[in-house]
Amino acid sequence: MRKVSRDRRLRAGLIGVAAGTALLTLAACGGTGSSGAPSGAAGPSDPHAFTFLNITENAQVGTEMKQLAAGACAAENKALPLQVQDVPQASLDQKLLLLAGQNALPSMYAAGNAPATTKTLVKGGDVVNFQTELATLGVLGDVEPSAISSIDSLFGGFYVLPTQLNIEGIFYNKKIFAQDGISVPQTWSQLVADAAALQAKGVQPFSASGQQGWPITRLISGYLYRSLGPDALSAVASGTAKLTDPQYVAAAQAIASLGSKGYFGKGVESIDYNTSVNTFLTGKAAMLYMGSWVLSSVADPSQDTIGASNIGFMPFPDVSGGAGSVSQYPANVGLPYTLNAKTLGPKSAAWLKCIVQNYGSVSLKNYDTFTGFVSNPPVTGLTPLETQVQQIITSTKQSVLWFEALFSTQATTVSQQDAAPLVNGSMSAGAFMSAVQSALTAS
Amino acid sequence: MNEFLGNKRAILTLVGPALLIYTAVMLVPVFWSAGYSLTSGNAITGYHFVGLANFRELVSDPNVSTALWFTVRYAVVLTIGQVVAGYLLALFYVFFLRRASALIRTLLFFPIVLPTVAVALMFQNLFSIAPINGPVNSLLIAVGYHAIDWFGSAGNAFWIIIIMDIWRSMGFYAVLLYAGLINIPESTIEAARIDGATRLRLVRHIVLPLSFPVLLSALIFSINGTLKVFDSILALTNGGPGNATTPLTLYMFNTSFSYDEYGYGATIALLLTIICLVVTLALYRWSRVGGEAAAQ
């Protein structure tokens, strides 16, 4: 009798453990997981330090922040010391989402690889609305209106800081062009013909990073904007067009053809960003599709052995009969950086004000990088190439976005990881567009 | 002692704390994760109950079938490769090197203690084509062939992953199987030799059946490890070219942490858990049948 009672108790204990586990499981289903608003009615309070999460691949922003901390923002740094942390770009989104889920985002951070990630953070209340915050601080006028407009169209509001203001196009080696009797191409057909001529003379026509993928997908969007007009990809985002439509597949096919002819050199999928830039800046390739942020590398004699005066810049050429125009440059604000709304206390706000007032000049003076901040004081002594790019930035009336700008994170990843197979011939243009469209539809 | 162990309260006292800790750190997360598979959302936007929608997506998702096929191929090929290579090495240690095998065993075991990322970087450079040719391509060019873009095609990339992982793990399996082989009584082997058994017959009829239990352990160990492969592929190919070398684990990781779809990621994790469970149960069942057959 006593044994039976003990058995029952044991069984009851086990059932209790099982029930507890089941309850926890249900709790997992029912949890809201929302980050919640900052506690207290007095507004967010400052953390113990001005923590800054940067990406490993872009040391420049971290270095500039340190320079500001030692110079123009020394007082702010004394009140709230700057602490810089790095994370590889490929791990950035994971880190941000995990930190945001724990209410542990740093004071300032790289806001994600795709606008979709930044928008998710905005929904969670983790991002400062700079439109109101900078107006309160009295420094909204220190940001170029064109930069605010670009940010607004990408993120649905002024949610990131324009630490860069870039246009994209094709950088070319003037010396190689002159030696081989090649003129700057005005149309896509001329560009392809020039590439063939360069290849015939033993010069690699293009340098591109297949490991990153985006330098290749940028060519697809370039072709699409020239052939279908500036609304080509917003039509895909809104669902009125699909990437699998023949005219979209034709754009991918045009870029795949460059790869099948060997114009990107060998082993393009193994080429990382730095190698692709290095290949061009050491004269081993004639052209490089890139954003104006590369000017900082062009200005660095240890990287640029061909010399800034030997580098030209041209827009993505026209596609004959297309609806787009060479005057529509792809523009962006680089990898976005933002501030954590939940830790924006008075000392962090002072940091923000100092960054807005001083970052632009430091960036252009020390790193030859254009930003969306007003240069204060104005920087002089720019090279002809920098002046050309600056003039284009200020004169561009209509800009366009990049291939994945309006895509989900999943579609962005699929697009960039499939770019190398597209140009090395292991994936057809139709299959590439179909895979990206499927990812887009799924998310 | 019998009286003590017959006391259920004593058993509960002894086993209870361990059971509680195991439940807290193993079972609760497993069931918790299973719970997530019924939800959609992420840590920022919150989780919402979606019923079986994730399971329906799992069935229709072409990426899952691609990842599953790669995982199965990888697990089968690598398990065979590393256990066979390990077994051959163990035989080599026991029957050829004998007591002189310590140095060779240590050298061949060494790759398993190297960090996976370091090994992957080494293989990337070994097979690289750009920016410069690696040793393999240089060798091909030296003997009159063209350099091969090893990581540019799915087939080549798959075999490089297999070669790398066999190289890394065969020393470990060799030591594991060596421990089983040296337990075979010398007298049994001597008796077979005196009876005129050739080396092949000796291995086939004496060594193989007597080392069956440890061979089976190695198989179970290997198949479960290979089904859950993650770090070596992430470091070597990152699942590429495209998604051609993406196993379920990597797809699950990307889905959860890159695409912010924790619920669907948990569903993929559940699929992987079920596969591991089924394979392990099948192997245990086979071991019982095989063990009895070996005993007879």
pLDDT tens track of chain A, all 443 residues?
A: 444 455 555 555 545 545 554 444 444 433 333 333 343 446 788 999 999 999 987 888 999 999 999 999 999 999 999 999 999 887 888 889 889 988 999 999 999 888 888 988 998 899 999 999 999 999 999 998 888 888 988 898 999 999 988 999 999 999 999 999 999 999 999 999 999 999 999 999 999 999 899 999 999 999 999 999 999 999 999 999 999 999 999 999 999 999 999 999 988 988 999 999 999 999 999 999 999 999 989 988 999 999 999 999 999 999 999 999 999 999 888 888 999 999 999 999 999 999 999 999 888 888 888 899 987 777 777 889 998 998 888 788 788 999 999 998 889 999 999 999 999 998 999 999 999 999 998 87
Specify burial of residue B274 (Cβ count, 10 A radius: 0-12, 13-18, 19+): exposed
The Cα B207–Cα A154 span in angstroms is: 68
> Does B23 contact A420 at a Cβ distance shorter than 8 Å?
no
Same fold, A50-160+334-371 and A166-332+401-442: yes
> Does B131 contact A10 at a Cβ distance shorter than 8 Å?
no
Q: How far is B169 from chain A (nearest CA, A)?
A: 26
Could you give the ipTM of this predicted complex? 0.76
Q: How many residue pairs from chains A and B have C-beta atoms closer than 8 A?
A: 158
Q: What is the four-CA torsion angle of A164, A170, A175, A176, rounded to 10 degrees?
A: 140
The Cα A438–Cα A326 span in angstroms is: 31
Whether B274 has a pLDDT exceeding 50, the answer reads yes
Q: What is the pLDDT of residue B4?
A: 65
Q: Are A118 and A159 in contact (CB under 8 A)?
A: yes
Instruction: Tell me, yes or no, if A302 comes closer than 8 A to chain B by beta carbon.
Output: no
Nearest CB among A24, A35, A97 relative to B28 is that of A24
CB contacts, 8 Å: A279 with chain B? 131
CB contacts, 8 Å: A271 with chain B? 130-131
The Cα A240–Cα A229 span in angstroms is: 14
Cis peptide upstream of residue A377 (ω within 30 degrees of 0): yes
A243 vs A406, A430, A434, A438, B277, CA distance in Å? 13, 9, 7, 9, 40
Phi and psi at residue B276, to the nearest 5° = -60, -40
Q: Which helix (H) or strand (E) holds B48?
A: strand B46-49
Which domains, from first to last, does chain B contain? Answer: 62-295 (1.10.3720.10)
The Cα A143–Cα A357 span in angstroms is: 9
Instruction: Tell me, yes or no, if B49 comes closer than 8 A to chain A by beta carbon.
Output: yes
Q: Which fold has domain A166-332+401-442?
A: D-Maltodextrin-Binding Protein; domain 2 (3.40.190)
Instruction: Tell me, yes or no, if A252 comes closer than 8 A to chain B by beta carbon.
Output: no
- Show which of residues 112-141 on chain A sit within 8 Å of chain B, judged by CB atoms: 117, 120-121, 123-124, 126
Please give the single-letter amino acid code of residue A165.
L
- Show which of residues 218-277 on chain B sit within 8 Å of chain A, judged by CB atoms: 238-244, 254-255, 257-261
The runs of H, that is alpha helices, within A31-114 are 59-70, 74-79, 89-101
Instruction: Tell me, yes or no, if A404 comes closer than 8 A to chain B by beta carbon.
Output: no
The Cα B237–Cα B67 span in angstroms is: 14
The Cα A436–Cα B215 span in angstroms is: 45
Instruction: Tell me, yes or no, if B122 comes closer than 8 A to chain A by beta carbon.
Output: no
- The pTM (predicted TM-score) of the whole model is 0.81
Mutation target for B interface from A9, A282, A417: give the one with most B CBs within 10 A.
A417
Q: What is the pLDDT of residue B20?
A: 94
> Does B42 contact A120 at a Cβ distance shorter than 8 Å?
yes
Nearest CB among A34, A94, A421 relative to B258 is that of A94
> Does A424 contact B57 at a Cβ distance shorter than 8 Å?
no
Q: Could you write out the DSSP letters of every residue in A159-187?
A: -SB-S--EEEEEEEEHHHHHHTT-PPPSB
Q: Are A120 and B260 in contact (CB under 8 A)?
A: yes
Nearest CA in chain A to B50: A29
Closest CA to A379 of A388, A370, A193: A370
Domain A50-160+334-371, classified CATH 3.90.950.20, yes or no: no
